[in-house]
């Protein structure tokens, strides 16, 4: 087979032709966007290794968060706290240069860097009623006073494991979340999420082929 004929498909590719919900009388719009083909790295290192963390900060152009359930973000990369010595890095760096640089600067230290890109996808959900929507299936308190911008947590959505981050929204009344979902659960997750939007107007942008420009 000619390698040039092989095309990457996002985990939600089979849902690309899902019909938008335009018939509801609701004024509330829920936007669901898949952010596919990101670099996903599981990072582990002792958080007391100040030199290693400072070198990583230079590579990432941001500090690795040490406070539980928080994340740090620059233009292309988000690093989220998973545990005292564990983080999830999600980046739109398609050429894996971030991974290579981290491996190089952490070489003298006891660490683990695992590329889990093929096993996960990212879905962004936003809208004035999105917290209410997600709380139908997620037990976390997503009120901004309890779960503010940059906060993150591992949780469930109707029993499906998710990793959720509250993003910055340019509109005051609009909440925006990023959800990281395992590839094996992606179909079930999106079906449950879409089914939960029946009371709202839905804007859907999922199912990609090849690697689109993202973020």
pLDDT tens per residue, range 120-169: 999 999 999 999 999 999 999 999 999 999 999 999 999 999 999 999 88
The whole-model pTM stands at 0.88
Rounded Cα gap, residues 80 and 84, in angstroms:
11
Long-range contacts, 155-164 (Cβ 8 Å, 24+): 157/189, 157/192, 157/193, 158/192, 160/185, 160/188, 160/189, 160/192, 161/185, 162/138, 162/189, 163/80, 163/88, 164/134, 164/138, 164/140
* Secondary element (H or E) of residue 51: helix 50-60
Q: Which of 10-19, 26-35, 114-123 has the lowest mean pLDDT?
A: 10-19
pLDDT of residue 207: 67
Enumerate the β-bridge partners of residue 112.
44
Average predicted confidence (pLDDT) for the chain? 88
**Which residue carries 């706290």 as its tokens?**
81
pLDDT (0 to 100) of residue 209 = 59
Residue 20, C-beta contacts closer than 8 angstroms, at least 6 positions apart: 202, 203, 204
Could you tell me where the beta strands, DSSP code E, fall in 74-187? Answer: 77-83, 86-91, 111-115, 120-127, 152-157, 160-166, 175-182
Walk me through the domains of the chain, giving residue ranges and CATH numbers.
11-36+119-205 (3.30.1360.120), 39-117 (3.30.70.1520)
Dist CA 192 CA 180 (whole Å): 15
Q: Specify whether the CB–CB gap between 96 and 86 falls below 8 A.
A: no
Q: Which residues contact 65 (CB under 8 A, 6 or more apart)?
A: 71, 72, 79, 80, 81, 87
**pLDDT for res 203:** 84
Distance between CA atoms of residues 126 and 130, nearest Å? 6
């Amino acid at each position: 087979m000619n390698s040039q004929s092989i095309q990457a498909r996002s985990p939600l590719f089979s849902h690309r032709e899902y019909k938008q919900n335009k018939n509801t009388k609701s004024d509330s719009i829920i936007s669901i966007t898949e952010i596919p083909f990101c670099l996903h790295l599981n990072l582990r290192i002792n958080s007391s290794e100040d030199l290693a963390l400072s070198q990583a900060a230079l590579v990432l152009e941001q500090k690795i968060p040490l406070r539980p359930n928080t994340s740090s973000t620059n233009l292309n990369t988000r690093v989220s706290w998973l545990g005292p010595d564990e983080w999830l890095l999600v980046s739109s760096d398609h050429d894996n240069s971030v991974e290579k640089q981290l491996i190089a600067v952490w070489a003298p230290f006891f660490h683990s860097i695992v590329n889990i890109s093929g096993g996960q996808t990212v879905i962004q959900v936003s809208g004035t009623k999105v917290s209410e929507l997600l709380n139908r299936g997620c037990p976390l308190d997503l009120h901004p006073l309890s779960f503010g911008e940059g906060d993150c947590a591992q949780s469930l959505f109707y029993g499906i494991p998710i990793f959720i981050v509250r993003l910055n929204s340019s509109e005051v009344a609009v909440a925006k979340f990023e959800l990281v979902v395992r590839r094996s659960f992606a179909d079930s997750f999106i079906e449950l999420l879409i089914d939960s939007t029946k009371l709202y107007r839905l804007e859907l942008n999922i199912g990609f082929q090849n690697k689109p420009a993202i973020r």
